[in-house]
Amino acid sequence: MIIKSKKTLYLLAILVVAFSCKTKQQLIPGKAAEDKSVIEHIEKLKSNEPYFRTANVSKMSIDLDLNGRTMSVAASCRMIKDSALHISVMPALGIELFKLEAYSDSMHVFDKFNRRIYSVDYKYLADKFGVELNYASVEALITNRFFIAGDENPDSKQLTLKTEGADIILNYTGSIMKQNTRSNSDNRIIAQYIGSEKSKYELNATYAAFEPAGNIIFPKKINLTISGSRHLFRSSFSISRLNFDENVQLLPLGRERYVKVSIDQLLKK
C-alpha cells in the first residue's frame, strides 16, 4: 500500500508541476498615464528574465508534499524553448521510472514501471480546474519569465502596480484569472500568485537563490504550492547542475508500447 501511494504521488507530482499554469503578449492600451508605468515595468521584467534557446537541468532534487505525504526524489529536465520539455523522475538508483513529455497541444505522463500512459490536453485541464492553461504558460512559470495566465493580449486597464518596501507587485484581474507578480529591486520575478475566478484552485510560486549559469542569471530554488478542493500540494526544486544553449535532444517514448489510462483515474487517487 505504501509503494502504491508513493507511485501515485510521483505521478501526481509530475502532472501538477506540468499544468501549474508564453505566447508573445501585447498590451491593449488603457489610460495613458497608467499605461506608461505598467508598460515600463513589464519591459524591465522582460529585460531581466532568462533568455535562452535550450535548457538542460541535468541534476536537481524535488521535495514533495501531497496532503501530508512527503518524499524527496532526484529528477532532470530538458527543454527546447517554445517547443517542448521533458521531465524525468528517478526515485531510486538513477533509474527513470516516470517521465513527463509536454508539447504545445498536450502532455503525456509515463509510468514506466506499470507500462501506463496518462495523456491530457490543456482544454481538459482548463475545464477540470477552471484554470486557463497552455504550454507557453507552463514554460514561463518554471523558467522565471513574465506571463499573464490565460490572456495573450491583456488590457492594460486590468493591470495595476503597487509597492511593498523594495518590491513591486503587478496585479492583473481578468474575467477568468487573477494574478500577482512580485519583483525585487533587480527587476527579477521572485513570486507569482495565480487564482481562478471559476474555481477555488490557487497557485503560488516563489523563486530564490539567483545565481549565474553561464551568462544567464537563474533561480536555483523554485517552490510551487497548489491548493483547492481539499487538496494541498507543495513542491520544492533545488537545482544543482544547469546549462543553457547547448545541444539538447528530446527523445520521445513510444506511446504505442504503453497502456492508455484515463487521467481521471489518476486525479481521483
Q: Which of 146, 145, 178, 133 is nearest to 160 (CA)?
A: 178
* Helix or strand holding residue 111 (H, E): strand 106-111
φ/ψ bin of 123: left (φ > 0), alpha (ψ from -120 to 50), beta (otherwise): alpha
Residues 6+ away with beta carbon under 8 Å from 212? 218
Q: What is the CATH number of the domain that holds 33?
A: 2.50.20.10
* Helix or strand holding residue 234 (H, E): strand 231-244
Local structure of residue 157 (DSSP, 8 states): G
Q: What is the pLDDT of residues 24-49, one digit of tens each?
A: 444 444 444 456 689 899 999 999 99
φ/ψ bin of 115: left (φ > 0), alpha (ψ from -120 to 50), beta (otherwise): left
Calpha distance 119→116 (Å, rounded): 10
Q: What is the pLDDT of residues 142-166, one digit of tens each?
A: 999 999 886 667 777 889 999 999 9
Please state whether beta strands 259-261 and 216-228 pair in parallel, antiparallel, or not at all (unpaired): unpaired
Average pLDDT of span 257-269: 78
Considering the entire predicted model, what is its pTM?
Answer: 0.83
Residue 60 corresponds to which amino acid?
Answer: M
Q: Give me the number of domains the chain comprises.
A: 1
pLDDT, position 11: 53
Average pLDDT of span 85-100: 84
Q: What is the pLDDT of residues 198-244, one digit of tens each?
A: 777 788 999 999 999 999 999 999 999 988 767 778 889 999 999 99
Comparing 14-18, 116-120, 139-143, 222-226, the range with the smallest average pLDDT is 14-18
Cβ 80 vs Cβ 53: under 8 Å: yes
Cβ 228 vs Cβ 201: under 8 Å: yes
Share of the chain above pLDDT 90, in %: 48
pLDDT, position 15: 53
Question: With 90 as the cut, is the pLDDT of residue 182 above it?
Answer: yes
Residues 6+ away with beta carbon under 8 Å from 202? 193, 194, 195, 196, 226, 227, 228
Rg of the chain taking only CA atoms, in angstroms: 18
Question: With 80 as the cut, is the pLDDT of residue 6 above it?
Answer: no
How far apart, in Å, do the first and last CA atoms of the chain sit? 13
Calpha distance 141→118 (Å, rounded): 22
Q: Structural domain of residue 154, as residue ranges?
A: 2-267
* Helix or strand holding residue 35 (H, E): helix 32-48
Question: With 50 as the cut, is the pLDDT of residue 98 above it?
Answer: yes
Local structure of residue 27 (DSSP, 8 states): P
Calpha distance 110→202 (Å, rounded): 26
Cβ 207 vs Cβ 179: under 8 Å: no
The mean pLDDT of the chain is: 83
Q: Which of 113, 114, 71, 74 is nearest to 92 (CA)?
A: 74
Calpha distance 145→141 (Å, rounded): 6
Question: With 60 as the cut, is the pLDDT of residue 86 above it?
Answer: yes
Calpha distance 10→33 (Å, rounded): 48
